[in-house]
Amino acid sequence: MRLTLREREIFEILKKEPLIAQDELARRFGISRSSVAVHISNLMKKGVILGKGYVVNESASVVVLGESCINIDVQGENENTSIDVDYGGFALDFSTALSNFGVNVKVITVTGNDNIGDAIISKLREREIDTSNIYRHPRQRSCRRISVNNIGKHKECYSWKNYENAISLSEWVVFNCEWLCVDPQFQENIILRLSGKNDEKLPYLCTYRIMKSPEDIPEYLFGFSTVVLGVENDSLDWYAQKVRALSGNQNWILTDGNSRVIYFQDNKTIDVLLLPNQSFSIKDRLPILLAGLIYGLSSGYPLRQAIRISIGAAAGE
């Protein structure tokens, strides 16, 4: 739930004067005391303030929205078959990557009320990641993905409707953070969800995508503030031209992981050449590149320095 203009005004006063009387608030805004009481009640319901003394519930700086799951990886066949089981998904992997940078992270995901859900939450808490906004589905078990010889074969996962329920339960947290990091599979869904909020302050939306050349850039990606694209080497310049023509004030970073990273600043296309020890797999390390970038930008580093940090992270330096 978003704050109304009056709620925002009252909230700003309460941050500075947490012991202010409701009569004084009414006098300052030229409204009745009963109206002030209603606004404060709404702020409490939305989780913005916490009871007596109007203790402010500060917004999270970074929120990660995405899937968490158990991955079952089958390699080989017959007597040479090996089966590995691990926990992953964007919510777990990306929030862990941000936590490694020391970023304060809240995660929004869906798990079942089962042992897998318990294990996922335990792994997040080990990294000191805030799990208070995870939705435990009362009937469905946790998400499972099965791959055979590196090819995804089967999945049992939640629908977007389930994630919408999770968002609705944590609406204030999701839409009042500074940075909202979105699972690639939910990019279009979150843009549609925000379509009626154009006149309100929204978080910086960030995500990544691996392009399958010559795939066109989806229109909904231009609704994000920061986008990292992984592309094949011979397509870098083609995608750079597309982005430069359409990106506006967004942060777009393009790379093949082998030769260079391209970004745009002051209407200029800037290439950063990758040294041999800085190459990385875009399939495996593109999320780490984005995590390093968000760390740099959220810490106040200039874009160029944030990109240097992100390259070092992706290359495992």
The DSSP symbol for 250 reads -
User: What pLDDT does 120 receive?
Assistant: 98
280-to-69, 93, 184, 235 alpha-carbon distances in Å: 25, 17, 20, 17
CA-based R_g, the chain, Å: 22
CB 89 within 8 A of CB 156: no
Q: Mean of the pLDDT values across residues 71-88?
A: 94
Written as one letter, the residue type at 233 is N
User: What pLDDT does 2 receive?
Assistant: 58
Whether omega for the bond prior to residue 214 falls within 30 degrees of 0, making it cis, is yes
What is the rounded CA–CA span in Å between residue 144 and residue 71? Answer: 6
pLDDT in tens, 89-108: 999 999 999 999 989 899 99
Q: Mean of the pLDDT values across residues 75-89?
A: 93
The DSSP symbol for 217 reads P
Q: Which of 2-6, 77-81, 216-220, 268-272 has the lowest mean pLDDT?
A: 2-6
Residue appearing with tokens 């925002």? 8
Q: Mean of the pLDDT values across residues 79-96?
A: 95
User: What pLDDT does 1 receive?
Assistant: 46
Structural element, H or E, at residue 226: strand 226-230
Distance of alpha carbon 230 from the chain centroid = 18
Structural element, H or E, at residue 296: helix 282-298
pLDDT-above-90 percentage for the chain: 68
CB 163 within 8 A of CB 185: no
Written as one letter, the residue type at 224 is F
pLDDT at 14 over 50: yes
Q: What is the pTM of this model?
A: 0.81
Structural element, H or E, at residue 24: helix 22-29
What is the rounded CA–CA span in Å between residue 34 and residue 41? Answer: 10
Label residue 47 by pLDDT band (50, 70, 90).
low
pLDDT in tens, 129-182: 999 999 999 999 999 999 999 899 999 999 999 999 999 998 888 877 889 999
What is the rounded CA–CA span in Å between residue 174 and residue 299? Answer: 20
pLDDT in tens, 224-252: 999 999 998 889 999 999 898 887 778 99
CA quadruple 93, 63, 253, 230: dihedral sign: positive
Strand, coil or helix: what is 307?
helix
pLDDT in tens, 105-130: 999 999 999 999 999 999 999 999 99
Those residues whose C-beta lies under 8 Å from the C-beta of residue 58, and which sit 6 or more positions away, are none
Those residues whose C-beta lies under 8 Å from the C-beta of residue 214, and which sit 6 or more positions away, are 235, 238
Going from the N-terminus, what domains does the chain have, and what CATH number goes with each? 5-54 (1.10.10), 59-196 (3.40.1190.20), 203-317 (3.40.1190.20)
What is the rounded CA–CA span in Å between residue 83 and residue 64? Answer: 29
